[in-house]
Structure 1
Amino acid sequence: MKKNKNFSKLQKTFQNRTIAIFLISLFIVAIFAVRLIWLYNSEYRVRAAEQRQKTIEIPAHRGNILDSNGNILAESVKVNVLYYIPEKISQQQRDVLINGLSRILNINTDEINEIINSDSTVRIADGLKKKQVDEIKELKLNCLSISVENKRYYPGSPSLSYILGFVDKDSDGMYGVEKYYNEDLKGKPGLNIFSGTREGNPIAFEKNKKLNAVEGKNIKLNIDENINVIVANVAKEAYEKYQPKSLSIIVSEPKTNKIVAMENFPRYDSNNPRQGRTKEESNELETLSEDEKVEKYYDIWRNIAISDTYEPGSVFKLITTAIALEENTANEKSIYKCEGIYTDIPGVKIKCIRWYDPHGDQTVEEALANSCNPAYVRIAQDIGYAKFYEYIKSFGFGEVTGIDINGEAKGIIPKSAESINSTQLATMSYGHGIAVTPIQMITAANAIVNGGYIIEPKVVKEIEGKEDKEGPAVKRQVISEETSKRMLALLANNVENGAASGVKSSNYKVGGKSGTTIKIEDGKYTSEKVVASFYSTFPIDNPKYSVLVVVDEPQGSNSGNAVSGSISKEINNQIVKYKNLEDHSYTAGEIEESTVPDLIGLSLKNAVKLLEKNDLKANIVNTSLSDSIIITNQSIEAGTKVEKNSTVDLKADDSGTSLIKVPDLIGMSKSEVNIEVGSLDIEIKNKGNIEEGKVSKTIPEYNEFIEPGSKLEVIYESD
């Protein structure tokens, strides 16, 4: 009995202890549970999740660039891109690859072998069409990979490449509008933030979030694509015809200085900016090192319309004239004498374009129309050093215009009025000894015709979501509206009666000024290399457009009127037609015509006499002071009918050697030949049936040049 009591007591004690241990354990578990719950909701949990956090950038859609009419000039598109990934392939696979790419992409075998032999991934082609993608997939080659990528696309390129620029592989703007307005165009990338496993799979978590990308803004330009196409087509033809070193054309609205068109030649393709602009340049790039290529690319991408300087030549006489009228140091009827060569500055000879037949006394109106350098030297001297310098600064030379494209140059002018010597003042009066950019020149010339206002040139019209309430950015008024009106009349007279006749039209009134700058080579001026330029504006009574054409080192004809004037006229005519600007009330009056004679091979003296006999004028750019120099080119082809008093621009051989051009004797009898060559200093050697036959051939042949006293073999044959 006692044992049972003891056992019962022991059992009860054990149960109590078990319960106590259980309760204590339960309490401890509860504490740990509470602690775990606290930890789960604490910063440690957040930190752990953040360690697993992944962020993926969501690219923003780059904004489009549009012309003033809403036409797309630049856009981002999805394209199929084909890559070659290096790996060992069998001969059979190699054959499949070569035959396939040759057939599908029209790539030659040498290029494909070069791709196959590459040690790194090669981007073969982009912009693949669906049919091409399907055919490439059917090749079943692991070494070929097709990916869908964003690409900036320029539908009209290479037109407007120097305005638009291009983007790099990260879609950041490089040059042009793409660079200047990069922050507006690129937008802001979005972010996809989530917690993930090691494999990258998302884990549900309240901190996961997605920040949507902000699309880039669309930008509308002042560029009118239709006008720019006109400019591009005319410029392309001119570049092929004159084969210059370079050519630059700007079209603007003079009252606002909005840039309506801009083209440079040679030009690059914004869709493929690292390709040479010409075949020769492409071949050159293949021979260059990587560092040399980079330097060459900078040269290719440089916008010469805003970055390159040149001596503006006689177009700058517009500036000198405007200063004189504004300061009242001269008026349209003031008389300035031309003696052919200005020699008042010791050791300096300044030649008029008509040094062989000086203008004599002439008014300012006539001096501008005649483009007489000696007269302008005297006009500048009357203005004075201080005032002349003050005005060229006010017209914006020596400072950037502020155009909204990167890379603008300031040009070169004297440091101060005090630093200008008498020779510099003299040469600056007609645009030598000063270096300007095309954008500076058209901005200053626009001020002359728009009422006197220097206005910041503008490429961009509007940015999506932003309002431009300011209008044209007027910097200052440099001449009065009255002076501007007087200058318009002088510009019109230049075209009607002067050396700027290259843009004359019977359908509308136009004003203009040509410029021909003889370039310096090896420290000397040479008429073999010139810059031919022309500024025109129309309609002259209410200018809506202005055009500046600058051609560096044209071949053949080389005067501003003949080369750049003809280019400008074609552009002007097409813009007038496109914008319906014909002046139906304007009549040019009854036109009397003359026939242009053949002047090639004649001495300058005889060529001028022959032109005057036909009621025509001569204009020549030359460094020689001899009137015996031989004419080698004329701007208007012999036999062409033109309006009386028109100007024929001539180019001559500076050497002064008097050569004789072989006349056309084919089909003539002996007596006719004697009459034709009687006045020429050549020796005739007749062969064949001289008495009864007709000339069938001459040695040298017709149009070739021979020296005086040379023999000309004339061969006769009977019918």
Structure 2
Amino acid sequence: MNKKRRTKEPKKNKKRWTLKAKSNFKVLALLFLLALLFFLITVKLIYINVVQGEELTRKALNQLTRTETLSADRGVIYDRNKKELAVNVTRANIFYNMAAFDEKKYKSKADFNEDKKKTTKEDAKKIADVLEIDYKEILQLLKGKKQVKIASNVSREKALKIKELSILRVSVDDVTKRFYPYNNLAAHIIGFANDESTGVYGVESSYDRELSGMPGKSVSIKNNSHVQIPLTEEENYAPKEGYSTVLTLDENIQQFAEDAALKTREEHSAESVSIIVQDTKNGEILAMANNEAYDLNNPKDPVTEYQKENWDKLSQEEKTEEWFNNWRNFSINEQYEPGSTFKVITTAAALEEATTNLNKTYICNGVYTEIPGVKIGCTSQNRGPRTVEEALMESCNIALVKIGRELGTEKMYKYIKAFGFGTPTGIDLPAEANGQIPASADSIGTARLATMSYGHGIAVTPIQLINAVSAIANKGYLNTPRVVSRLEDSNGNIIEKKKSVPKRKVISDETSDTMKHLMGKVVSDGTGKRAQIPGYTVGGKTGTANIVSKKSGYENAYISSFVGVAPLKDPKITILVVVKRPKGTAYGSTVATPAAQEVLQKTLEYLKIPKTEKEQKSDKDNLVLVPNVKNRLLSDAGKLIVDSGIKFNAFSDDISNNAVVTKQSPSAGTYVEEGSIVDLHIDNNTKDKKTMPILVGKQEKEVESILKGFNLEYNIYGTGKVVSQYPEAGSKVSEDTLIKLTMESELNKENKDSDEEDNEDDETKLDSKNSKDSKDSKDKKDNKKEDKN
């Protein structure tokens, strides 16, 4: 018994000890693990706080930090007299926060949608009443779950009313917008700033960096609800205002130019009119007008009649193209063949190089044929010898061709480059065109030299031409033209003043004086008589050049121009007028010169420039415009001439009733004194081939009588007066030619006077068509490419 007890007791204790040992081991292991975990956590915390602390703190602050850009006020644009042309005004953008609608607060989605629809409708009506628009326009924008912009460029007054509505979901952000007090005045010089306050075109673009200034910023620490975290401070860095620009432009002179440009465009139904007024001495631009100017406050609005009528029909791509056309500055960005205005460049170069002089004479027989395969005609009606002075006064192409050939290709090219053609002038406006000149003197052939001498075969920009003529009048000094006079800060302190530094001296003082004399004779006794101003001597040159076709050759359309300086004794003002595609008469003497005279006279008087001459009755008061009587029956031509206050001679011993005028001298569009005689060359139409007369505007009985006298068969369509005819006037017809005439009833005409005006319009159109007949002969085809005065 005792043995059994001794053997059993140790086994029980051993088992108990084993269980206790296992339990202790688990506790120890757990404690170890906890200690290890605590150690690792401690290490991690130390690592985070010590090693990564700075970086993580920076990241956390970046997530909480809100940086807002504070826009700098854009600099003001002034004219030379400190009149504000571009300013800043406070506008507002209106936002509606769709994220403020919380679906979780509603029992069901249906309740949420119903309340959202009701609330947005009510809010839209309140906002629409203030903005004075249809609330449905706003309601269409209130979609999605984000903040949406419902209005922009809202006036300060309306923005304050929106705030007074106290609509929780509505926020009003004040922004600074560009405003142009004069709307479209000087639009192509000023340019405009877009919605991002970045300058587009004009001075706004070329001086964008100076005008923009330096933006500031506001730095604050905010939570996800955009509420600033307590005990944190907001740091503000004030923006630096942009510099203001003071232009060389004079608002009054700009208005003179724009008024004259508009008047000229309307009177001559022209496509566009460009007028530049420049300070002759320092190259500053006093005015630069281009029709049709766009509204700077609404630059994307349609401008031309075509655009207004067809805007909704245009594709986005077509609208973009039309915008670019509106914004382009013809005076800077476009090029054209200058025609006879370029003759002053050729003459100045020849005088400077002494290849010609005022005593030298040149024979003009009407056609120049000394260059093989080339025939050049002259629109001047005078024949025989003429001096350089007379050649320029009469705008004789043939004399200038001979002067150009004497000068030679190398010297001609030298002066083309010296006067600044073929390269940008450096004017402080964007996208200036180069013009187009020969690549080198070696590339100028004999024919090219001849045509360049009178302004064809070379393309210039208006700013290049006026700048070159200013150099001729300014003792030969060529300046860099500019439109900005100086930069100022907001306190009016001058930051930078633009200085006039001549690029080079192109011609001598003596040549400059001679050229001023010659240009003065053009105005006093030549084609530029309409530029005369009482009390001042004016010099200049007229020009009429065919427009180069985009495909090949020349169009039957013209650019009429006049460039001039005043007063000649001490030139202060240079002016250039360029009229593109005038209807009817296209002579520079009648289309462009009157506009130049008007602007020059107003500018000289406005600037109070002392008069240089005793005021006498201007020759232009006694001048009469020679009418175009070519291709008219002699009886009709004689009546037109006599009614104009002048007389005529017909070069024929025996004049028939069928006589038609084939040529006239002086040419149409020339101004002559009252009582002057116009010489008429006629075709008596006694041969088999007869010259078709102008029948447009005649009644049926008149037409029948005329055509019976010509022994021609005809068909008449309609009743009333002739509005079109075939073949065209000036065509050669034979007895087997069938004449077709279209007539229009007079019943719809308002009165007899309006009938006469319509007749004149039809005749003008026909005269324009007659120029196309030049294609029928090589001589006339060559003459198409010439300057008409």
TM range (shorter): 0.7 to 0.9
SS in 1 for 2:662: coil
Question: Within 5 A, what are the aligned runs for 1:191-340?
Answer: 191-203=217-229, 209-340=235-366
2:389 to 357, 365, 378: 365
Per the TM alignment, residue 439 of structure 1 is displaced from its structure 2 partner at its CA by: 0.7
SS in 2 for 1:628: strand
Report the CA distance shift for 1:72/1:531 in structure 2 as closer, same or farther (over 3 A).
Answer: same
Q: What do the CA deviations read for 1:638-678 (whole angstroms, capped 9, x no partner)?
A: xxx98559999x9xxxx9741147689xxxxxxxx9xxx99
Q: Does 1:176 pair with 2:176? A: no
Per the TM alignment, residue 183 of structure 1 is displaced from its structure 2 partner at its CA by: 1.1
Q: What do the CA deviations read for 1:385-426 (whole angstroms, capped 9, x no partner)?
A: 110011101111110100001100101100111111111000
Q: Higher helix proportion, which one?
A: 2
Give the corresponding residue for 1:552: 580
Give the corresponding residue for 1:628: 662
Per the TM alignment, residue 234 of structure 1 is displaced from its structure 2 partner at its CA by: 1.6
Per the TM alignment, residue 541 of structure 1 is displaced from its structure 2 partner at its CA by: 1.1
Q: Does 1:452 pair with 2:461? A: no
Give the corresponding residue for 1:388: 412
Report the CA distance shift for 1:388/1:627 in structure 2 as closer, same or farther (over 3 A).
Answer: farther
Aligned-partner residue type, residue 70 of structure 1: K
Residues of 1 paired with 2:96 and 2:229: CA distance?
A: 36
Per the TM alignment, residue 566 of structure 1 is displaced from its structure 2 partner at its CA by: 1.3
Aligned-partner residue type, residue 363 of structure 1: T
Residues of 1 paired with 2:79 and 2:621: CA distance?
A: 43
2:66 to 54, 70, 75: 54
Residues of 2 paired with 1:366 and 1:611: CA distance?
A: 28
Report the CA distance shift for 1:541/1:205 in structure 2 as closer, same or farther (over 3 A).
Answer: farther
Give the corresponding residue for 1:349: 375
Give the corresponding residue for 2:758: none
Give the corresponding residue for 1:505: 533
Q: How many residues align?
A: 631
Report the CA distance shift for 1:452/1:239 in structure 2 as closer, same or farther (over 3 A).
Answer: same
Residues of 2 paired with 1:597 and 1:460: CA distance?
A: 41
Q: Is the 8 A contact 1:593 1:643 kept in 2?
A: no
Give the corresponding residue for 1:377: 401
Residues of 1 paired with 2:432 and 2:289: CA distance?
A: 16
Q: Is the 8 A contact 1:39 1:45 kept in 2?
A: no
Q: Based on CA coordinates, which of the two structures has the bigger radius of gyration?
A: 2
Aligned-partner residue type, residue 218 of structure 1: S
Give the corresponding residue for 2:592: 564
Greater Cα shift, 549-558 or 467-476? 467-476
Give the corresponding residue for 1:525: 554
Q: Does 1:420 pair with 2:444? A: yes
Give the corresponding residue for 1:14: none
Per the TM alignment, residue 497 of structure 1 is displaced from its structure 2 partner at its CA by: 0.3
Unpaired segments ≥5 residues, structure 1 = 1-30, 619-625, 665-672, 685-698, 715-719
Report the CA distance shift for 1:524/1:398 in structure 2 as closer, same or farther (over 3 A).
Answer: closer
SS in 1 for 2:307: helix
Q: Is the 8 A contact 2:530 2:620 kept in 1?
A: no
Aligned-partner residue type, residue 342 of structure 2: F
Report the CA distance shift for 1:116/1:348 in structure 2 as closer, same or farther (over 3 A).
Answer: farther
Question: What TM-score, normalized to structure 2?
Answer: 0.70
Residues of 2 paired with 1:60 and 1:437: CA distance?
A: 36
Per the TM alignment, residue 200 of structure 1 is displaced from its structure 2 partner at its CA by: 3.6
Unpaired segments ≥5 residues, structure 2 = 1-41, 99-112, 650-659, 681-689, 710-718, 730-738, 747-789
Give the corresponding residue for 1:28: none
Residues of 1 paired with 2:645 and 2:633: CA distance?
A: 15
Per the TM alignment, residue 141 of structure 1 is displaced from its structure 2 partner at its CA by: 9.0
Aligned-partner residue type, residue 497 of structure 1: D
Report the CA distance shift for 1:423/1:642 in structure 2 as closer, same or farther (over 3 A).
Answer: closer
Give the corresponding residue for 1:402: 426
Give the corresponding residue for 2:105: none
Report the CA distance shift for 1:542/1:701 in structure 2 as closer, same or farther (over 3 A).
Answer: same
Residues of 2 paired with 1:647 and 1:449: CA distance?
A: 35
Aligned-partner residue type, residue 166 of structure 1: F
Q: Is the 8 A contact 1:351 1:373 kept in 2?
A: yes
Q: What do the CA deviations read for 1:94-143 (whole angstroms, capped 9, x no partner)?
A: 89979996x98776x7xx8667656886766745473x667778999999
Question: Within 5 A, what are the aligned runs for 1:46-85?
Answer: 47=58, 50-51=61-62, 52-80=64-92
Give the corresponding residue for 1:475: 503
Give the corresponding residue for 1:659: 694
Aligned-partner residue type, residue 418 of structure 2: S
Residues of 2 paired with 1:305 and 1:234: CA distance?
A: 16
Give the corresponding residue for 2:462: 438
Q: Is the 8 A contact 1:662 1:700 kept in 2?
A: no
Cα RMSD over matched residues? Answer: 4.6
Report the CA distance shift for 1:612/1:198 in structure 2 as closer, same or farther (over 3 A).
Answer: closer
Greater Cα shift, 430-439 or 49-58? 49-58
Q: Is the 8 A contact 2:696 2:721 kept in 1?
A: no
Q: Is the 8 A contact 2:93 2:149 kept in 1?
A: no
